[in-house]
Amino acid sequence: MVAGEASGDILGADLIRALKKRFPDAIFEGIGGPKMQAEGFHSLFEMDRLSVMGFVEPLKRLPELLKIRRSIIQRYKNNSPAAFIGIDAPDFNTTIELKLRIAGVKTVHYVSPSVWAWRQGRIKKIKQAVDLMLCLLPFETEFYQQHNVAVRFVGHPLAGQFPEQPNTAQARKKLGLDPELPVLCIMPGSRSGEIELLAELFLETARVLRQSIGADLQLVIPAANGERHRQLSQILATMPDLKVTLLQQNSHLAMEAADVVLLASGTTALEAMLLKKPMVVSYRLGALTWRLVSPFIKTPYASIPNLLASRMLVPEFIQADATVVNLAAAVIDAFEPERREALVAEFDELHHQLAVDSGAIAAEAIAELVES
């Protein structure tokens, strides 16, 4: 198994627990993070070494990434596993899957890349590389069926980990926040590059919101890990007038305590939806990366709630549209009680669509492949 970032680590841990029930004597190894390792997984390399974003940024670490990938391919060519499971990280994992499948290893890719949204030509390589595609979102399966790729919708494991109704008061109590004052949770991403491109933008937006909503607006930022905590601390030190509660992890608790979440597009948007929180979604890439990527984008939406609803359910501001003025206006609108009530009903419905036993369904599909 190879996972490349925190969201993949969560999926991998859930899958390992389910696979242990099917294969109690199995050994799980490859590349994974702390959650997978807590389930007995042996990681051959630090998962953080794969956590790079965009097209341009990975070039800085290309020799190291290629060396790690060659090592993984050679290891499992020499010691053929029952299956190789690539968890997300498609640009890294698909080549491994292709080489190993040619060598006779059964291959699974867990989490469909957004091939239906952009760079659709990738389906040719996926078809050659993957014996089974596991999709988290229901609308993804049709694309693979059209291209004769074996696919299974497994739901999203996160959906089963969140209660139907959040306990906002309890979350605020745990974080020492005033239960009567408004709370904005700010989540500029889990990667260094995301923090560089989004943190100051989000904090400048918060400064404007303090003037519009009131100085009693409480700001909370959960840092994804120790390195992101240090990075955010350095940025906050340049804004001494802005009082922010900076947390070490605890992202779910921070979102649960919030009235509104201002976040970087990604899995966090799904988590905010499952916590029934109004959100404003934004994202930026480096200028050159965006120039390379943008011509290949084939979907009108960036965030998971909007993709699931097939409409602009929550506001999105990407690249040039990601400005303080746009973000501040959208956050102010998200604080409106009527807006929040309407969203909760829609989020409930989407939550139920995804809330199946993902690990068990994925493990069943993998077991069928391994035993076939």
Q: What is the pLDDT of residues 142-173, one digit of tens each?
A: 889 999 999 999 998 788 889 889 999 999 99
Confidence of residue 267 (pLDDT cuts 50, 70, 90): confident
How confident is the model at residue 160, as a pLDDT? 84
- pLDDT the model gives residue 24: 96
Please report the pLDDT score of residue 296 as a whole number: 67
Provide DSSP, 7-74. Answer: HHHHHHHHHHHHHHHH-TT---EEEE-HHHHHTT-EEEEEGGGG---SSSGGGGGHHHHHHHHHHHHH
Out of 3.30.565.10, 3.40.50.2300, 3.40.47.10, 3.40.50.2000, the CATH code matching 168-354 is 3.40.50.2000
- Residue 5: pLDDT over 90: no
Residue 56, pLDDT > 80, answer: no
pLDDT on residue 154: 95
CATH of domain 2-155+356-371: 3.40.50.2000
pLDDT at 52: 64
Tokens of 163: 């209660």
Instruction: Please state the rounded mean pLDDT for residues 47-55.
Output: 70
What pLDDT does 7 receive? Answer: 82
Above 80 in pLDDT, residue 114? no
Mean pLDDT calculated for residue range 232-260: 95
- Output the pLDDT for position 227: 93
Per domain, the residue ranges of the chain are 2-155+356-371, 168-354
The percentage of the chain sitting over the pLDDT mark of 70, rounded to a whole number, equals: 96
pLDDT exceeds cutoff 70 at 102: yes
Read off the pLDDT of each residue in 221-243 and give the average, rounded to a whole number.
95
Report pLDDT digits (tens) over 302-321.
899 998 998 999 999 999 99
CA 346, 335, 302, 13 torsion-angle sign: negative
> In sequence order, what are the residues at sequence separation of 6 or more whose Cβ sits closer than 8 angstroms to the Cβ of residue 42?
27, 28, 29
